[in-house]
């Protein structure tokens, strides 16, 4: 069976949000990817292969978007497509708590690769599960937002939910 890429896979989980529908692929082992909606994205329909996990993910997302401190550590991930380095970056980012900000250099040092700042940025850009792996908490050295795969409006919104207001710009 040929695998479907996350960019074309409609997923098997959906969560309504005022900005659009969040989509995910939930396997028997955990969440493989989560996509934040792009403006004007059509709703996708699907049923999770793991209804219990889908229910936990729904509850956690609802709490998070309501401003309730949510760390997502009890939501298992199934990151089958990342390299060893990418998974180390994602686990390092996942350890950054709600409301805490870190720089790309700080995360590189945290995972034991202090000279790999650009590689850390690239790994975060490939993060398949934003919010669950909170790459939005990583800022450029100058305290500016840097990048975010779903767009800076999402990064600003997610940081705002957590009580942070970093400077605009990249």
Active site residues: 135
Under 8 Å between Cβ of 123 and 94 = no
Token pair for residue 12? 């098997």
DSSP letter string, 12-73: SEEEEETTEEEEEEE-SSSEEEEEPPPTTPPP-----S-HHHHHHHHHHHHHHHTT-----T
- The helix (H) or strand (E) run that includes residue 138 is strand 138-139
Q: What is the crossing angle of helices 84-94 and 117-125, to 10°?
A: 80
SS (H, E, C) 91-135: HHHHCCCCCCCEEHHHHHHHCCCCCCHHHHHHHHHCCCCECCECH
Residue 121: how many CB atoms within 10 A of its CB? 20
């Amino acid at each position: 069976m040929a695998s479907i890429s996350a960019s074309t896979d409609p997923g098997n989980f959906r969560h309504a949000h005022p900005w659009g529908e969040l989509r995910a692929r939930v396997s028997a082992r955990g969440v493989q990817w989560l996509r934040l909606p792009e403006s004007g994205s059509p709703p996708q329909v699907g049923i999770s292969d793991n209804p219990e996990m889908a229910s936990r993910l729904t509850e956690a997302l609802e709490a998070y978007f309501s401003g309730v401190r949510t760390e997502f550590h009890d939501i298992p991930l199934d990151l089958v497509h990342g390299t060893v380095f990418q998974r180390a970056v994602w686990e390092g980012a996942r350890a950054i708590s709600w409301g805490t900000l870190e720089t790309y250099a700080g995360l590189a040092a945290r995972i034991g690769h202090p000279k790999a700042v650009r590689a850390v940025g690239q790994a975060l850009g490939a993060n398949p599960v934003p919010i669950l792996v909170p790459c939005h908490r990583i800022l450029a050295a100058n305290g500016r937002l840097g990048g975010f795969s779903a767009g800076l409006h999402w990064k600003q919104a997610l940081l705002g939910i957590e009580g942070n207001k970093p400077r605009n710009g990249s």
